[in-house]
Amino acid sequence: MKKYLLNLCALFLISSQSVTAASYLATYSLKVSNPAAYMEAMDDLMSSEWGKSFPAVVAVHAYAFNGYDDATHSVVLNYADTESLGKGTESFTDPTFLNFLARTSDVAEEVEQSLHMKLISGGSEDPDKNGTYTIYRMQVENPAKYAKAYSKIIEAQEEAGNIVGSYGLRQHVGGSVNYYTHYAYTSAGSMEEAMKSSEALYSSESFAKFSKEVSGNRKTMNISILSNVKTYNAN
């Protein structure tokens, strides 16, 4: 119960960033043997009436660097609210979606599925600034305390002009939590921009202070880098 209350507190800590209660990301990690065939099937699915009416932004990402599991790709469903999450999940029994699963069964193997609550979100949603994502998966003991520290370093990095695209802090609420409880991310327009941003982050005074503040509360489990392949229903 104590940990649950701390998780709730983390939702309301930050007023300067966009703290979004009850909005979710469903992530499906896949091992894809034929990316071209998978994306052709995805294009057909998302151009169907089912896809056009699906209540979430759908993004397909390819892992440039993983090391977490065998996944090569990740499909992320961005739900604006709980109602959309419910409608989207219920639609997975529709024949159109089931046909998509059957069509891709020989080229895509599901590795992991998880549901995350958005705790903190911000930055630019410009597609040109969100081509590469750096994901920091971690175990967090005190979510409220970590969210406060995260807010401070994000503010410092924004003031330094070091955040190119979007950023966020997410809490794992569905799927196994044995490996990680939270993840944070930043995005940039390209791999080069992402690496330059990381270099500036790690060498900054604000990162040194942040690392000291979260020591003992956060354990980084994995850092993955993904590139965006295609996004659907963004408008």
Q: Domains (ranges, CATH) in the chain? A: 2-232 (3.30.70.100)
Give tens-digit pLDDT for 180-194: 999 999 999 999 999
Torsion-angle region of residue 208: left (phi > 0), alpha (psi -120 to 50) or beta?
alpha
Apex CA 150: angle with CA 206 and CA 122, to 5°?
Answer: 105
CA distances to 31, 85, 180, 201, 235 from 54, rounded to whole Å, are 24, 10, 29, 37, 12
Residue 93 CB burial class (10 angstroms; 0-12, 13-18, ≥19)? exposed
The two tokens of residue 51 are 């896809």
Give tens-digit pLDDT for 199-234: 999 999 999 999 999 999 999 999 999 999 999 999
The two tokens of residue 213 are 């503040």
pLDDT of amino acid 175: 87
**C-beta separation of 163 from 186 below 8 A:** yes
Strand 73-79 and strand 166-174: pairing? unpaired
Q: How confident is the model at residue 176 (pLDDT cuts 50, 70, 90)?
A: confident
Give tens-digit pLDDT for 104-132: 999 999 999 999 999 999 999 999 999 99
Strand 218-232 and strand 166-174: pairing? unpaired
Give tens-digit pLDDT for 135-157: 999 999 999 999 999 999 999 99
Average pLDDT in the chain? 91
Q: Is the pLDDT of residue 1 over 70?
A: no
pLDDT of amino acid 11: 44
Q: How confident is the model at residue 5 (pLDDT cuts 50, 70, 90)?
A: very low
Give tens-digit pLDDT for 32-89: 999 999 999 999 999 999 999 999 999 999 999 997 789 999 999 999 999 999 999 9
